[in-house]
Amino acid sequence: MLDPDNGLSLTIARIVQRLKGSSLHSQLERQARISLHKPEIKLESLKEDIKDFLKTSGWEKKLQNAVYSELNVFPSPCHPAAPPEHMKEPLAYMRKAQGSWEKRILKSLNSMCTELSIPLAQKRPVSEQKELLNKWNEMGTDEPDLSLFRPVYAPKDFLEVLTNLRNPNYENGEQPSFRSHLGLIQVPLKVKDIPELKEDFSELGLNIGQLGIDDSAQVPPEFFENEHVRVGQKVLAEQDSAAAQQYVRQGCPTALRADLWALILNISNQPEDILYYEQLKSNVIQHDLLVDSLIYKDVKLTASNDDYYFVFEDYLYQVLLCFSRDTSVLEHFTYSSATPPKSYIRGKLGMEEYAVFYPPNGVIPFHGFSMYVAPLCFLYHEPSKLYQMFREMYVRFFFRLHSISSHPSGIVSLCLLFETLLQTHLPQLFYHLREIGAQPLRISFKWMVRAFSGYLATDQLLLLWDRILGYNSLEILAGQQLKYRAFSFSPGSCCVCFPSSQPDGGDITGCSRSCTC
């Protein structure tokens, strides 16, 4: 057990280290120096006066937001003596499973590479560079031959791996009883039960106003809305990340959402950020990566065919191609159970000095990956800001949806949470579905992996993502299918929403109507 003081000082030390040398640091220093010219700053009380100045000029708030952001992203250190892999993933069997999964993906990628005789990376000839630069804003009109490429994996492949996960230390031999878990996930992870969920997600209770919930709410919607907008504007004026995060738990008004999300994720699109994005863009122009073709293919298969997102096809290339080359994304591997794949310069296999991460950001896209970016296009139309918002969303949330870990927001826990909720809350439905050979997780898995992007109308998807940001957790995804108000327990207010338009779902909507809960 770590005593609270130790934990706190470790955290402080880590945050100080991370913020040292950041642009915020130099800006604060600069501001402090500028303030020396001000009459209210007196030599006798220099330190206090500067502190006051930073407070009134809003710079303290910026520092607060940066600290808050660090706290949200990095988990608290477990123990000073714990090895770094414990921050990635404390459970050994999970680490092992993730390692094997990664090996499989890399093997798949390498064999595609060999089959097609395409290098993983190569420099573009100057003429091609020129052409790409001209076409930068309309890469969607390009029609490269992608027929030989296939996605490295699809969500269903990943589900098979998760279904076979077992904890070797856990004896599962006892007779199945009413307590056994009847779903696909058979690992004994701790997930929240309904009373805990009710407490943690208290803002979603029936007695509290919401945006985007049906009008059976007890709070009259119009009254709530006007007041909520007013409060939102105030939160934005204060520029307080923590307040914004609390606020969006009840949903964002459309007009305020873009700014609120940027405030929560602490994205301000400074000149150096724009410069960084431009640098990534020039990397794209100069070098061609194999994963680029995977990205093209994915966009063409998913977003280009989507009623809502086809319009933004070109933006998706501009974001994802840059994302693949962004080495700052490698930072997130310190707290992700995943490890970036390594590749070697041609002819130097196994020689560590010639090892590079591949792709440079360590993230191999899978089928549907581009749908993580698409909804953000409704909010941000400036490429560098769109890019930063996506990158931050990825390193805070989305990475957990396609890696194996025991984290409460990891996909394994979400699956288990979903199955547990369903089994507890709608047992008849659950047993019935199992009976007809339709494990509910098989259908809802791909929705959760995509954070519902492409499966919900955009306005509702954004309301869902409001809550992800608000609670800094993906658990809401498990509950989405049971509607936000499932925690209210009143009969008839919970239902399982399976789209009847889905080929596998056709049977199930029929069933859910005949089952009572």
Interface residues with another protein (CB under 8 A) are: 137-138, 140-141, 143, 211-215, 221-222, 225, 253-255, 257-258, 304-308, 310-315, 377-381, 454-460, 462, 483, 497, 499, 501
Residue 161 or 231 with smaller CB distance to another protein: 231
Residue 361 or 384 with smaller CB distance to another protein: 384
Give the burial string for 260-291 (b: 16+ CB within 10 Å, else e).
bbbbbbbbebeeebbebbeebbebbbeebbbb
How far apart are alpha carbons 358 and 366 in whole angstroms? 14
According to DSSP, the β-strands at 121-123 and 287-289 are antiparallel
Q: What is the CA radius of gyration of the chain?
A: 24
Helices then strands (H, E): number in the chain? 22, 4
Beta bridge partners of 123: 287
Residue 90 or 499 with smaller CB distance to another protein: 499
Angle 87-93-97 from CA coordinates, rounded to 5°:
95
The least CB distance from residue 488 to another protein, in Å, is: 16
The least CB distance from residue 156 to another protein, in Å, is: 19
Contact 408, 172 (CB under 8 A): no
How far apart are alpha carbons 380 and 319 in whole angstroms? 12
Q: Give whole-number Cα distances, 308 to 305, 371, 374, 375, 425, in Å.
A: 9, 11, 9, 9, 33
The least CB distance from residue 141 to another protein, in Å, is: 6
According to DSSP, the β-strands at 287-289 and 342-344 are unpaired
The least CB distance from residue 162 to another protein, in Å, is: 24
Strands (E), 332-415: 342-344, 355-357
Residue 54 or 464 with smaller CB distance to another protein: 464
Residue 168 or 503 with smaller CB distance to another protein: 503
The least CB distance from residue 466 to another protein, in Å, is: 12
Residue 66 or 461 with smaller CB distance to another protein: 461
Residue 360 or 375 with smaller CB distance to another protein: 375
The least CB distance from residue 352 to another protein, in Å, is: 44
The least CB distance from residue 498 to another protein, in Å, is: 8
The least CB distance from residue 380 to another protein, in Å, is: 8
Residue 141 or 147 with smaller CB distance to another protein: 141
Long-range contact set of residues 327-332: C-beta below 8 Å, sequence gap at least 24: 327/357, 327/360, 327/361, 328/391, 329/361, 329/362, 329/363, 329/391, 329/394, 329/395, 330/357, 330/361, 330/362, 331/395, 332/394, 332/395, 332/399
The least CB distance from residue 459 to another protein, in Å, is: 5
Residue 192 or 485 with smaller CB distance to another protein: 485
